[in-house]
Amino acid sequence: MTQILMAAVLFLGTHLGISSTGLRAALTDKLGERGYLGLYSVLALITLSYLIWIYGELPRFEYVWQPDPNAYLVPKLLMPLAAILLVGGFMVKNPTNVGAESLLQNASADADLAHGVTRITRHPFQWAVMLWAIGHLVANGDTVSIVFFATFGILSGLGSVLLDAKKARTLGSDWIVYRNQTSNLPFAAIVAGRNRLVAKELLLPVLVGLAVYGLMFWGHQWLSGVRII
């Protein structure tokens, strides 16, 4: 248990302890933007690989709740939406991505700034990871799995909030225009009437996303060593 906790702390610390603190600015000053991104990527890859390796190596004998076949329905329901958000997030230009801030320069209040899955949430990748983490956490009640999946859920959930705060500081009024048209919580802006679903923008993300989900479902045992029942 200590090993998975250490790996989780290292993984979270690498992400939140660098990118969301003054350390990022200090490193960027010394290394430049590209140098910082290179260092950050290497550290993130190392800590992610270590976390995944530890999770695969540790025995899972201690349970907070026992496995229940009914609980397996949760990831089966959440993962299609997660796959659509994941795939769709790469199909649109998103001002929240690194280096994409120029998409909001001098944006007018009536400009249609969100497209595709960003109409659902301005953080599609983070929510894809959160849905994946929540679904698999519910389906796995052992302590090792709880720490593993909760780590990704915490990182993505807290990361989306911190990213919003960072964009607000750096982009000012341009960010306010985009923030008012979109939402962090999926479908919240649509329910509030601040945005709408556009079927033609979602057709390709839905089709490709469901295909990706089908491949993940079919290859789950090969990817994770666990057969879906």
- On average, the pLDDT of the chain sits at 87
Please indicate whether residue 149 or residue 94 has the higher confidence score (pLDDT).
149
- Whether the CB-CB separation of 195 and 181 falls below 8 Å is answered with yes
pLDDT at 23 over 80: no
Kindly give, in sequence order, each residue whose CB lies less than 8 Å from that of residue 212, ignoring residues fewer than 6 positions away: 83, 86, 87
Tokens of 194: 């601040």
- Whether the CB-CB separation of 155 and 15 falls below 8 Å is answered with yes
d(CA 69, CA 134): 16
List, for residues 103-136, the tens digit of each pLDDT value.
Answer: 777 666 667 888 999 999 999 999 999 999 999 9
Residue showing tokens 């956490």:
137
Tokens of 210: 């469901």
What percent of the chain is predicted at pLDDT more than 90? 55
Residue showing tokens 């899972």:
60
pTM of the shown model: 0.88
Tokens of 93: 């230009």
Q: Name beta bridge partners: 142.
A: 63
